[in-house]
Chains A and B, each alone.
Chain A
Amino acid sequence: MRFISVEVSNFRQYEGHQKIDFPESDTKNFVIVLGSNGSGKTNFLSSVVWCFYGEEGSPFMQSKNEKRQGILNEHMLESISVGKTAIVSVEVVLGEKMPEIILKRQATFKKDDEGHAIQIQKNFEIFKRGPGGMNNLPNTLIAMNNILPKEVKDFFFFDGEKLDNFFKQGTGQNIQTAVINVSQIGLLELTGNRLEAVMREVMRTSKDLSPESTSIEGEISAFEESIKTLESDITKSQKEVSGANDKVASIDKFLKEHSLPLAREMQRRRESLILQSKEIDSAILRLHKKEAGLIIKYAPLSFLCDVCNSLVYRIDKLTEEGKIPPDIKPDFLKKLLKKGKCICGNEIGKHEKELINKLYDNVSMNYGENADLWQEGRSELANSIRTINRFKEDLEDIHKSINDNNMKEKKISEDLEEIEIKLRGVDIEEIAKKEEERSMLWGAIQKQMSQLGAYEQSLQHVRGRKSIREREQKDLFEKQEKNKSLKKEVDFYDESIQLLKEVHDNIVEDVRMQTEKFTEEYFFSLIWNKSNFKKIKIDDKYTISIFNQYDAECLNTLSSGQRQILALSFMAALKKVSGFNIPVIIDTPLGRISGQPRENIAKNLPEYLKNTQVVMLVTDTEYDDEFKDKIRSRVGAEFSIMLDKDTGSSRIENGIA
């Protein structure tokens, strides 16, 4: 499906009715909407998202609108009298040749005594083509879930510039959320949770619950409450980190593009230091993993270090006293005597021969077969001591490397602090203010990230305890004879839950693998220096890794442009995997990309999205002659957003001036 038209009325800076009629074309599936910064491109995207879901937010488009209050056009609000009303509406028509789906959202606002717009009414309707024409669908929630579920919207409507943040912090979590959302397994999770609740409800109905079982039931309910609270805390925390990251990114952009050379230089230096710091973090993480691996493998043996050493001492002593055989094999002595030559090649003399003979008689006669056993034991003991010593040395090397990296990290922190102090001391109020804001945001992000880690750990812990208690409760329930008839039912639910979990994991794993495959395919077609990269991996913890030609992980060293290409590839992959036939809107798709990558995007993006209508909201620096030339054959229409600086209102016109 494609957009047939989008009509926006009084939404933010779009005063009155503004309508775009999109032309129909099978091959020219790209639509360009050109507008300068601040003209209303992001608000056009927001208007479509608002029409679909009644909200504007997306992790990739929040920050640009945050200062604006309310969706009613400000000029319209000023022009109406107190007590009067004004309507904001957006209508989106979707279809191929003729309208198949019409989405209409309206909100009525009344101007209060203080001049604020108060929403007094809202309305949302969906019409779908049926046998008798367009029918008004009764349940808009279910209908939207079939058209494009809210969880998937961010892979269809997004801000290209904000994508850069996607791979900056909390990557694993972002990707996991994306994969789970695109899998749409909310239905499975809901069913699974309900099955568990039903199973417990059935157990609860059993007569004369034992006091122990009642107490466990209470604990499980408390765990459930904690899980709900922790999940909501995690979501809140993630939103805060994402919002703060967006703000930091825009301050960084401001500093990097500032006319003051010192600001530009300091910001560039800071970005380079942050990259180095990330590489060091990755190195420390790898070292810790290596350390953990060694400890798991060799620590139990190393606990026996003292025992092994004292054993060697005692064996040596007993050997000296002749109570156990010396450290030599009888067979070896026999061979020496037979050959008449030493292992060094020299002839064995008469005297030596006598000594060896004596030794052989002693070993073979006094100790018999035990001599070989003693020999093997000694050898094993020596090996164990060598392994323990090597383990200690390896551990020391790792600790030394971690220490070195920590020192480097400390130095980077000091340098970053110095940059912060310099920028805060700049005699330009705007810069000093921004830097102070950045410093606060950065501190808040670090605090929030550590809080997030603690929440996630607690969640895992509580889930584990809940699961143990549930098992115990089931065991108690089954022990009671009177529950025999209910046991069959409970077992049935229990097995169903297990099967549901298998299906759930299976689907998520399939989606993860498909996403990895398409992300890699798209990335290698869009990136300019292909030979520098080898492969892309999304592991089972949803961490995305990109490997360079030397097989080293290099996500943290990608430039902004490269990261944006990676994010665009990831979004295109998720869109493909989701299978929804809905157009895509990308705001500022080329913001951080220039030169060859732009050409690659112009050439390859239309290929990946060839059956999809793509609306690109661009500035004139993005839509330059070179890009225009490359994409011309795929562009079906061009529109311009014109901003009236006097009224602050925008209008949409056909064509580009």
Chain B
Amino acid sequence: MNLIEVNKLIIEKIDSSNKDKALKEFLKEIIRFERDNYPTAPGLIQRYTNEYRRISNKFINKKGVPE
């Protein structure tokens, strides 16, 4: 385990889960968004809500679709 690449580790853990692929892709993308801005990511709820909803729109309809 090398935690210096903790973000890589998070992605690996998400990938290894047996949850729906769309969910996993959504999470990976919002984590990338937060990582690129962490620890100075936008703090205003409206700003990140917009971003999260924009990202989730890409994946919601893919949920449940077989890989």
Contact = CB atoms under 8 A, between A and B. Distances in A.
Interface of A: 139, 141-142, 145, 182-188, 190-191, 194-195, 197-198, 201-202, 488-489, 492-493, 495-496, 499-500, 502-503, 506-507, 510-511, 514, 577-581
A195 B40 contact: no
A492 B26 contact: yes
B56 A492 contact: yes
A488 B39 CA distance: 30
Interface in B15-52: 17, 19-20, 23-24, 26-27, 30-31, 34-35, 37-41, 45, 48-49, 52
Contacts of A496: 23, 26-27
A141 B4 contact: no
A343 to B, nearest CB: 62
A571 B19 CA distance: 36
| Residue among A141, A195, A495, A496 having the largest count of chain B Cβ atoms under 10 Å | A496
A507 B13 CA distance: 8
Nearest to B37: A142
B9 A507 contact: yes
Nearest to B27: A496
B3 A506 contact: no
- For the residues of A in contact with B, the DSSP-based class is helix
B17 A202 contact: no
A511 B3 contact: yes
Given A187-B7, A198-B48, A499-B27, A579 B2 contact: yes
A503 B13 CA distance: 6
B1 interface: yes
Contacts of A191: 27, 30-31, 34
A510 B1 contact: yes
Nearest to B41: A190
A184 B6 CA distance: 7
Contacts of A201: 45, 49
A577 B49 contact: no
Contacts of A145: 38-39
23 contacts: A142-B40, A145-B38, A183-B3, A184-B6, A187-B35, A187-B38, A188-B10, A190-B34, A190-B41, A191-B30, A195-B30, A195-B52, A492-B56, A492-B63, A493-B56, A495-B20, A499-B17, A499-B19, A499-B24, A502-B17, A503-B27, A511-B3, A581-B4
B23 A187 contact: no
A24 to B, nearest CB: 22
A198 B50 CA distance: 9
| Residue among B14, B27, B34 having the largest count of chain A Cβ atoms under 10 Å | B27
Contacts of A202: 49, 53
B67 interface: no
Contacts of B6: 183-185, 187, 507
A186 B60 CA distance: 26
Nearest to B48: A194
| Residue among B13, B23, B53 having the largest count of chain A Cβ atoms under 10 Å | B13
A510 B4 CA distance: 14
A493 B48 CA distance: 14
Contacts of A488: 60
Nearest to A502: B17
A198 B17 CA distance: 23
